Amino acid sequence: MSVQPSVVQNSGQVLPAGHEPANLGDILERVLDRGIVIAGDIRVSLLDIELLTLKLRLVIASVDTARQIGIDWWEHDPWLSSRARPPVEPGPRDPEQVEAERRPRIARRAASREAWDDLA
Amino acid sequence: MTSPEPAGTAAADPRTGAWLHGVVRDVEPGTLATTASLEGDPVRAVRAAGLTAVVSTVPLSAYGEEALRRNLEDLAWLERAARAHHAVVDALSRAGAVVPARLATVHHGDEGVARVLVERHDELAATLDRLDGREEWGVKGYAVPGAVPRAAAPAGGGGAGAAYLRRRRAQLTAREEGQRIAAEAAAAVHEALAGYAVAARRHAPQDRRLSGAATAMVVNGAYLVDRPRLKGFSALVDALADRHPEIRLELTGPWPPYSFVAEPTTEAAHAVREPA
């Protein structure tokens, strides 16, 4: 099994054309949980943000990654359906990886629905 | 004390606010002109106390308290805002040191932004000094269930299908042991990287539903690296990946220094090493 790290460049300028933008989950994790906290005039309480983050973690896999492994249920979810995404060309698949992904995908889907119901 | 950019008159409009992206020492007019705000027009600079805040002018109809709370619940809106905010911070970080602001830091006008620059001048200036010439790199490590323990991998005939099933069964029985070994490898990897970096943070691993990965994330580290030492850092990641086949490492970056601007006390549980 290959263990070489894959390098994802976030700065668009050095990327070859057509490279995926930075992973949405990575961006959200940083802009929601990190960065300097400055009290603005508009107060969106931290509690709200934490709740939001929790919902994200429960409801949605990283959109980029999810698309790559064929998760598209949010496109039919009224909470998330305000935007459609273009289809993605599937790459060559390792059968073992497909198998590993298939099970959590179903479990994830069920768990996400339940968790969302709990929060709603 | 403040001297907003010429385009900044819009912030005097009571119907608009100023969304703070980050604080820099100074910013070139060219950078402002070519960096899109949340609303698509160029971002603006608000200057005070020798520091510069870079802001988007935003309509309070969408970014006022009630509207903002509602919009943040809309994942498509949130994604757009997060990507746009990140793009501004990223553009600033490529031009020099930047202190990124957390998402959704909104003031009614430029005066409020300028007041922050004055009141928190010392802290902001010290942080900018500390970040100069450095960038954040992320290293995520995922468990590789099949990789350990190697001794347990059975041999035998029966064709590829049977061999696959045997391997799969061995993986499942080895899962707990594999998790322990992966956790130890994660700690070793983080320690080695933290020893090389200027500063390091070990964040909570992303939930699999957020990471989208097939296996558990066991390390989610952020490392502040001196730019001239970047090749060495990357080589170290390669070496660690070779040394620890039980976890799959993923290097991401360069990131603006999101993980290295907060007060260390707020993340003491994950803080590993503070800069000298």
In sequence order, the 6+-apart residues with CB closer than 8 A to the CB of B207 are A57, A58
| Range in A20-29, A30-39, B7-16, B51-60 with the lowest mean pLDDT | B7-16
- Same domain? For B103 and B51 the reply is yes
Q: Average pLDDT in the B129-136 region? A: 96
- Same domain? For B125 and B64 the reply is yes
User: Domain range holding B113?
Assistant: 16-132
Least CB-CB distance to B261: which of A27, A36, A44?
A: A36
**Which of B76, B101, B132 is the last residue before a domain boundary?**
B132
Tens digits of per-residue pLDDT, A14-64?
333 333 457 777 888 888 878 888 888 887 764 555 555 555 654 444 454
Q: Do B252 and A10 touch (CB under 8 A)?
A: yes
Per-residue pLDDT at B129: 96
**Amino acid at residue number B125:** A
| Range in B30-34, B108-112, B123-127, B144-148 with the lowest mean pLDDT | B144-148
Instruction: Report the percentage of chain B scoring pLDDT > 90.
Output: 63
Q: Specify which of A56-70, B226-240, B254-268 reaches the highest per-range mean pLDDT.
A: B226-240
ipTM of the complex: 0.79
pLDDT band (50, 70, 90) for residue B197: very high
Q: Could you tell me if residue B185 is inside a domain?
A: yes
- Same domain? For B128 and B140 the reply is no
- Same domain? For B122 and B151 the reply is no
**Which of B86, B117, B132 is the last residue before a domain boundary?**
B132
- Same domain? For B127 and B138 the reply is no
- Same domain? For B108 and B201 the reply is no
Q: Could you tell me if residue B119 is inside a domain?
A: yes
Q: Could you tell me if residue B269 is inside a domain?
A: no
Whether pLDDT at B103 is above 70: yes
Nearest CA in chain A to B69: A44
- Same domain? For B161 and B118 the reply is no
**Amino acid at residue number B61:** S
- Same domain? For B24 and B105 the reply is yes
User: How long is chain A?
Assistant: 120
Tens digits of per-residue pLDDT, A84-106?
333 344 444 455 554 555 555 54
Residues of chain B with C-beta less than 8 angstroms from the C-beta of A24: 79, 82-83
- Same domain? For B76 and B126 the reply is yes
Q: Could you tell me if residue B9 is inside a domain?
A: no
How many other CB atoms are there within 10 angstroms of residue A6's CB atom?
Answer: 11
Q: Do A27 and B238 touch (CB under 8 A)?
A: no
The CATH number of whichever domain residue B171 belongs to comes to: 3.30.70
Q: Average pLDDT in the B138-152 region? A: 73
Cα distance from A7 to chain B (closest Cα, Å)? 5
Q: Could you tell me if residue B274 is inside a domain?
A: no
Q: Could you tell me if residue B217 is inside a domain?
A: yes
Least CB-CB distance to A30: which of B75, B211, B255?
A: B255
Residues of chain B with C-beta less than 8 angstroms from the C-beta of A13: 94
Q: Could you tell me if residue B218 is inside a domain?
A: yes
Q: Are B182 and B143 in contact (CB under 8 A)?
A: yes
- Same domain? For B51 and B82 the reply is yes
Q: Average pLDDT in the A6-13 region? A: 42
Residues of chain A with C-beta less than 8 angstroms from the C-beta of B69: 44, 48
Q: Specify which of A8-17, A76-85, B126-135, B171-180 reaches the highest per-range mean pLDDT.
A: B126-135
pLDDT band (50, 70, 90) for residue B195: very high
Least CB-CB distance to B101: which of A11, A35, A60?
A: A35
Whether pLDDT at B133 is above 90: yes
Distance CA B64, CA B70 (A): 10
Q: What is the mean pLDDT of chain B?
A: 86
Q: Could you tell me if residue B3 is inside a domain?
A: no
Q: What is the pTM of this model?
A: 0.70
Q: Are B56 and B19 in contact (CB under 8 A)?
A: yes
- Same domain? For B148 and B57 the reply is no
**Which of B132, B163, B180 is the last residue before a domain boundary?**
B132
Cα distance from A2 to chain B (closest Cα, Å)? 8
Domain count, chain B: 2
Largest distance between two CA atoms of chain B: 80
Nearest CA in chain A to B246: A3
Closest CA to B49 of B17, B20, B24, B21: B24
Which residues is B247 bridged to in the sheet? B143
| Range in A31-40, A67-76, B11-20, B216-225 with the lowest mean pLDDT | A67-76
pLDDT: which is higher, B102 or A72: B102
How many other CB atoms are there within 10 angstroms of residue B144's CB atom?
Answer: 21
Whether pLDDT at B152 is above 60: no
Whether pLDDT at A4 is above 80: no
Which residues is B101 bridged to in the sheet? A36
Distance CA B6, CA B47 (A): 12
- Same domain? For B253 and B140 the reply is yes
Distance CA A36, CA B103 (A): 9
Per-residue pLDDT at B275: 41
